[in-house]
Structure 1
Amino acid sequence: MPHTPVDTNGEFDPAVSCRGWCARCAREHSLPVGPARGPALALLERMEREGRIDFEAPEPDPRFSVGYLDGEARGQMFGVLVARDKAGATVALKAFSGQYNSAWEVEGWAPPLLDTARFRRDTFEAEQRIKSMGREIAGIPAGSPSRDLLIYRRKAASRTLMQEIHAMYRLPNFRGETVPLPLAVHGDGGVPTGTGDCCAPKLLGLAAAQGLVPLGLAEFYFGRTNRSGTREHGRFYPSCLDKCARILGHMLCGLEDA
């Protein structure tokens, strides 16, 4: 993925954009918004102006219209990371959270932290079995012992599948280390679905892989206000605590020495 040179006009926002506790260092690592707010605003304005996110394509693909974010999707988070490359130039990377209208990858945007071809190949059969059990459950009367047993088996199969999916994610840091997602998670309890798919992990993962030194990161919400009312169009938010904070301690580790 090519780097995009960026002019930040010397602006610097000291607010913390993302953070996480690092078990290795027994301390919290963090990254400020820094010089990223201006380039993030420029991205927001470009999306509003062009009405799409596939900026690199000669012809717009309807799948990547921002109209998708005004429909059932109800909006999505987007992020920009400003970094210094090996030549000392300031560059910007951009990412969207999760998938965009069922697409994992869009040219010019940070890729996911897992091999999507392997994901589709290795999860297909398990997903079909789980769906089949769901259809079978729907046809069994409520309260039936056989129905309760099948529900238990479906939950167990779903839990196993999620563990296998989490193991596919590879999370690098700025010490040159890369580990599977489960080994990067800090704190007790299960790993929430979608961990590793937010903008900050994608951007930091790409920066680490390309030898860039992050200087700042900014994330904004685009689209309809979400159902809980906690996200509004055009507003900036720090990285989430329930998912990102549990892995960003590992991913930010080593940045102070970069």
Structure 2
Amino acid sequence: MLLEPIDISGSFDTRVSARGYCARCKREHTMVVGYAGRFADRLLHTLTEKGRIDLEVPDGEADPRFSTDYLYGEARGQMFGVLVVRGMDGRPGLLKAFSGQYNGVWEVDGWVPPLVDMDRFHAVNTGVERFIKRLGRQIDEAPAGSPEREALVARRRAVSRALMRDIHNLYMIPNLCGELISLREAVVGQGGIPTGMGDCCGPKLLGYAARHSLTPLGLAEFYVGRENRSGTRRHGGMYAACHEKCARIMGYMLCEECGA
């Protein structure tokens, strides 16, 4: 079950956990931690105690791919998040997400899925990704500095860029009114669309809530595992949604100005 029934009595954390500017309504929207902080702490404790993220299955049926050992190796750590919501029946519930893929896997039972339709993603990505890897092998075999190698490098770059455009076109971004627009329409700010935009915890959680008519009440994201290379994320730390990938689309996702 993705939506876990919860009791939200207790302290309310007013710290802002996500923000963004919406180009459609010309306003900044924010989300606070709210009641989500203690559920983030609880999930961190569960992940530490269980040593895995496939929490829906008995210990004897755990999949080795979902061991948290993965987070302490070369891959380093990963962001996790929880979103407290109110259902259409007025009852509170909890959703949880991990950023991006987990050890190469996009979907794990009990965790919200990606914003993108995975069948369409694989249809677009799989064959082209194999071709890009083949070009990589040909580049490795070509003499350094040769015209052949330079042509292969240029071709791989062009194919990779085209693939990224095609993948971005698959992402449809919902707002809290249930309206959908493309990723390119939702994003604000300078620069192109970075790899992984829309795959962080916050957008995944808000997207699932919007698609299922759930009202977000509080968001908390935290880091699990080995410190990242830049030293900006440490195990157990709670962090606001990032600016580069999240804030640029969260303004639209948090917007409740229907038809703006």
Using structure 1 for the length normalisation, give the TM-score. 0.95
* Cα shift readout 1:134-157 (whole Å, capped 9, x = no counterpart): 111122222222322221121111
Equivalents in 2 of 1:212, 1:192: separation in Å? 28
User: Residue in 1 aligned with 2:48?
Assistant: 48
* Cα shift readout 1:12-57 (whole Å, capped 9, x = no counterpart): 1111101111000111111011110011111001111111111111
**Is structure 2 residue 105 aligned with structure 1 residue 103?**
yes
User: Residue in 1 aligned with 2:147?
Assistant: 145
SS at match of 1:242: helix
- 8 Å CA contact 1:113–1:169 kept in 2: the answer is yes
SS at match of 2:245: coil
SS at match of 1:244: helix
The number of equivalent residue pairs is 257
RMSD, aligned CA: 1.6
Instruction: Provide closer, same or farther for how the CA distance between residues 76 and 255 of structure 1 changes in structure 2, counting only shifts above 3 A.
Output: farther
SS at match of 1:94: strand
Equivalents in 2 of 1:197, 1:100: separation in Å? 11
User: Residue in 2 aligned with 1:253?
Assistant: 255
- 8 Å CA contact 1:8–1:38 kept in 2: the answer is no
User: Residue in 1 aligned with 2:124?
Assistant: 122
User: Residue in 2 aligned with 1:90?
Assistant: 92
User: Residue in 2 aligned with 1:29?
Assistant: 29
Greater shift, 67-76 or 195-204, is seen at 67-76
Instruction: Return the offset for 1:177.
Output: 0.8
Equivalents in 2 of 1:63, 1:252: separation in Å? 33
Equivalents in 1 of 2:257, 2:81: separation in Å? 19
Equivalents in 2 of 1:139, 1:16: separation in Å? 51
Using structure 2 for the length normalisation, give the TM-score. 0.95
User: Residue in 1 aligned with 2:14?
Assistant: 14
Greater shift, 183-192 or 96-105, is seen at 183-192
Identity %: 58
- 8 Å CA contact 2:222–2:238 kept in 1: the answer is yes
| 1:1-258 equivalence runs, <5 A | 1-58=1-58, 59-254=61-256
* Cα shift readout 1:207-249 (whole Å, capped 9, x = no counterpart): 0011111011000000011111111000100000000011111
